[in-house]
Structure 1
């Protein structure tokens, strides 16, 4: 899907009407912060290994932890006002010819919330048939999609299939796009949509969730869950955007983790939706001018929700990460990968 990055306007991928239900709706989030913070991999720690660009709950920070950590935020940068979830991904930099690094502006995140996954059914295994009813995320669910250390592509691994990049509207690709349009690069993360039904996290932050079963016709965007993770959740396809400021050479781009291949892009999700009933019912058939469930978290008035840039409630300690000009090395002194 092409990136949206629409600030101030709600875009529905499937238009709701009095006779049809939506299988996809979108969430738009303005930037919150860029900092060496990672409440999943490094809770309570500053600095973490590399700079992340974050959106969502203003609670995002080193002390955000526990089932209701993200819900402690007093606001959200996202256009659905009850979504106090946190979403973050590695920051993008430009390697200059003089050896310095320019931080490229983070433009925010657009996400597709999708009704494409169904519970495992031992009596009728296969692609989901009929109505799918994925559950809302349990409070406090944490998950990581992608692997910061990866530098190659294995197309048989759904965890690797779930990470793509796109420049402009030239189509998603695995790894760094071979051509840049000079305007924007977006990192696409398809989060797992199957859950083991009990654990909110796991030591690797991935084992408690999974992608739909490929042997049953599923893929990273939907299908029947495997028996090991039988509970279907809403699919999230998140797109993190960065302005290229005229950069057209993909070989000059590097993510904050030192990755020049694009294969090491990744995304984190920390559940913080306040109204899980409305989230669960957000794909139900309803009237656009009635008390439609998605309007219950669209805005306080149910109209014209707006994504708004904010700052975290607690600012991280100061570190020069390149917000005020070029820097001599990647924050954390992360080495730039060279094949």
Structure 2
């Protein structure tokens, strides 16, 4: 389902409270991946990370993230989960690269970059089971360079915002999503949309590939009550990451490739966008997430403790990997080559 259709459903009568929606400011830009490459310092490509400041190179699933964290970049102070995605770079005509910063969601309090996080429930009123301590999963394949039309690939998309971002043309719910990175200048930035699986096997908190313990509905869509497969019968919230990449400084046509192709590339060397992916490590305190789900919370959730965005913005983590990731660089961090297949 396109994000515009999902938002329209959420704004319909009696359904607006079915999306827990909040900002998580940038915690660190770091070449670590404790889910896929635990213990590797550095990991192959750069990520943007938000959430609790217990994020580290290994992230032992036995660790108590709320107990190890001193702060969180998220609005709700009981959420010490970590959420991360690959980083977007601009490739100039001369072959150099510049990291594209993230923009906070204009429709929430202004966060310092990062992402907007959603926990979505079915609109038919079906209850969901919140994730449990030790739960983790990922979505997307960093090696993809073509569209496969799989259940997973349908959950990954982009939106090219016009200059009046925040106005009618740039507001969520308007325009059209694309599966690949937009091939025209996006004067209001590029929004990345990543939807996670919504069905759980009810037993395993993780799996060797970090995805086999979860699944998408067998037909229809989760938000419209699509059934879970018998192998994964437990409905879990639909986790959704929304990142707005601030491409406004990179729209000079004189800096774009001479052939007119789009100039943005993800940190793993993906110029198509089909390889975008995301990781999740659960870290909510106690039963906080289940309480929020049971209460059908939206942006405001009196069942949860919250903090001002100005406080969340102060939660930062020192980069562990000693490398240059900002300014103009001659190659992507990790010397990842740009690949089209």
TM range (shorter): 0.7 to 0.9
- Alignment of 1:76 with 2:83, yes or no, is no
Q: Aligned with 1:281: secondary structure?
A: helix
Deviation, structure 1 residue 222: 5.4
> How many angstroms apart in 2 are the aligned matches of 1:279 and 1:66?
18
Residues 39 and 33 of structure 1: is their aligned pair in 2 closer, same or farther, counting only changes over 3 Å? same
What is the aligned residue count? 303
1:296-339 deviation line (CA, Å, top 9, x unaligned)? 32416xxx666722455564131112x2x111101111111236
**1:241 maps to which residue?**
244
Deviation, structure 1 residue 198: 1.2
**2:205 maps to which residue?**
200
Deviation, structure 1 residue 246: 3.0
The 8 Å contact of residues 18 and 296 in structure 2, kept in 1 or not, is answered as no
> How many angstroms apart in 1 are the aligned matches of 2:77 and 2:282?
14
TM-score (norm 2): 0.80
TM-score (norm 1): 0.81
Q: Aligned with 1:246: secondary structure?
A: helix
Q: Aligned with 2:262: secondary structure?
A: helix
- Root-mean-square deviation (CA), in Å? 2.8
The 8 Å contact of residues 176 and 262 in structure 1, kept in 2 or not, is answered as yes
**1:336 maps to which residue?**
338
1:238-281 deviation line (CA, Å, top 9, x unaligned)? 112221133235611000000000000011110001142x3223
**1:165 maps to which residue?**
158
Residues 313 and 92 of structure 1: is their aligned pair in 2 closer, same or farther, counting only changes over 3 Å? closer
Match of 1:320 among 324, 330, 335: 324
> How many angstroms apart in 2 are the aligned matches of 1:29 and 1:15?
26
Q: Aligned with 1:332: secondary structure?
A: coil
Match of 2:26 among 2, 23, 31: 31
> How many angstroms apart in 2 are the aligned matches of 1:243 and 1:287?
29
- Alignment of 1:218 with 2:214, yes or no, is no
Matched ranges for 1:16-95 at <5 A? 22-71=17-66, 72-95=68-91
Matched ranges for 1:146-295 at <5 A? 146-155=140-149, 157-168=150-161, 169=170, 170-214=175-219, 217-218=220-221, 223-248=226-251, 251-276=262-287, 278-284=288-294, 294-295=301-302
Give unmatched runs, 5+ long, in structure 1. 3-12, 118-129
Residues 283 and 201 of structure 1: is their aligned pair in 2 closer, same or farther, counting only changes over 3 Å? closer
Residues 35 and 227 of structure 1: is their aligned pair in 2 closer, same or farther, counting only changes over 3 Å? same
Residues 293 and 109 of structure 1: is their aligned pair in 2 closer, same or farther, counting only changes over 3 Å? closer
Q: Which moved more, 1:230-239 or 1:258-267?
A: 230-239
The 8 Å contact of residues 27 and 113 in structure 1, kept in 2 or not, is answered as no
Match of 2:119 among 113, 116, 129: 113
Residues 201 and 220 of structure 1: is their aligned pair in 2 closer, same or farther, counting only changes over 3 Å? farther
